[in-house]
Structure 1
């Protein structure tokens, strides 16, 4: 499992861990019964067929009820974890994430840090963007897509959420470990799906604010939600850049 780097991730980690434990216990029991039946009731040298039975009511009742009970237990703990992870407390920061074919746009709605303005960072299929997050600060991610379904996934968050056109999906996370982590699209979304990568940097608050000011000074002011200016591949990458990507795939040179 990836190392959890948010306050919410350990709850998901525990759910997965105990789910695997339960699955392994069931697996051992099933494998044991298969082995027992294969050995105990195998055809003997005298070629006598074992006693045949139409049904066994206690066993049939057991293997009907037991899976139902397991599903109920899994459902209970899954809903508990889901409610905890998606509790959406009041955030310290809000970032609108736009997944477009085939890269990401990050809109920092942190108006206090940049004179009442939203700033953005736009990636391209050949230059992945960097999502900068302040450590120990709760961030709400609003997920938007102008074209097809994408999926916002940071493995070290131990969760992912689909980015669906026409639907405002959102969740909150509180990064609690400084470092650099990978992010990617987890939904097959088209030709250059494999290029929908981004980097996540968890930094101190002062460094986060410095990054936002740098985006402002670079002229990356305003909110980009896809469509004109960021939605199409032609607007984000030149025709030559797209040709270079095609050449890379043709020659197998995928850096």
Structure 2
């Protein structure tokens, strides 16, 4: 009996190799969608980081148009931090004094933010609305200014108490600015502006009391003030003392 020839062994080896190549080919075809998905995921992460970095650095340097443009790049298929794009867009627009558009973007960011993410969004939203009041006041529309200041104050007062915590400070986009102090300063300044905008111009007498009047925006503002005073008293009780008067002033802060 003779053994297998070299030719038979070579044919068998070729058949095995063909089967292996076929298996590898089908494995590659089967895993191709997963590979492409992984590559797209990595590309999206890198692009989000690049857009965010460009938006932040441009804002810091005062290039608000470039900051807005980069932030809009974040808004494309934003799976990871959906609040970040409208927040950055609104902040850039606020820096460029496009206040109505900035307010719209920041209001869009509020429901998209989760947990402590909402803290800087609300702070910037309050500041943008306050600057709308400043603009209305400069145009001589005291009634509109009072309305804007009231809205800004309401946003500040309704900012969650957790935004004053150490965790919120650590997540702040500007950790060198104390978030709790900023909220206190915004409350005081916005309340002062709102009160001043309701005063009659010099030389104009106060309106006489004409009996019971229909509800006015002042009713809403009085309610905001009550909540502000109540929150301040609660914080004072927790801290065992009052807050100082430093930080109040007439100017509106720059957005975060």
Of structures 1 and 2, the one with the larger relative CO (CA 8 A, separation 6+) is: 1
Structure 1 or 2, whichever has the larger Rg, is: 2
TM-score range, shorter chain: under 0.3
TM-score by structure 2 length?
0.26
Could you state the TM-score of these two structures normalised by the residue count of structure 1?
0.26
Question: Higher strand share goes to which structure?
Answer: 1
Structure having the higher helix fraction is: 2
